[in-house]
Amino acid sequence: MEIYVDADACPVKSEIIHEAKQFQVPVLLVKSYSHFSHSPDPEGVSTKYVDTGADSVDYHILQLAQKGDIIVTQDYGLAALGLGKGCTVLHHKGFIFSQKNIDQLLNTRHAHAKARRSGAKTKGPKALTNEDKENFSHLLRNILTEKSCE
């Protein structure tokens, strides 16, 4: 099992690294070259840089992820494809993507994009709170506990 992170804009990287370290689960941060950093990776963490093209990070994660792995993303398209591969897919707000909620999330995203194209204004996502980060950490810890018992 490995944790793959869509890391370009992921606000919970430190929480992922902390929880993964407790369970000795490797973490791969996948970023575009436009987010390059010389900072060394913590123990148990590696970073892979990919082209800056649209969805390059998503495609790379999908190439590597296998059934049973964990993917952390806020991208509904990547989430849907990750679910199709049998991965556990988490959103940084502390909820798990599932076959039950992904269709509604994709439909809502499509409706908002369609409205924006026609000139309407839509609200962006709410700001991430400390409670969201705690919820995410708790969810990830629970999933890692379950998977370590399998």
Helix, coil or strand: residue 114 = helix
Q: What is the pLDDT along the chain (150 residues), one digit of tens a residue?
A: 999 999 988 999 999 999 999 999 999 999 999 889 899 999 999 999 999 887 899 999 999 999 999 999 998 889 999 999 999 999 999 999 998 887 776 667 666 667 777 887 777 677 899 999 999 999 999 999 998 887
Domain ranges of the chain: 3-149
Domain 3-149 has CATH 3.30.70: no
DSSP string, 13-45: HHHHHHHHHHHT--EEEEEEGGG---PPPPTTE
Query: pTM score, two decimals?
Result: 0.88
How confident is the model at residue 107, as a pLDDT? 67
Alpha-carbon span 29 to 13, nearest angstrom: 8
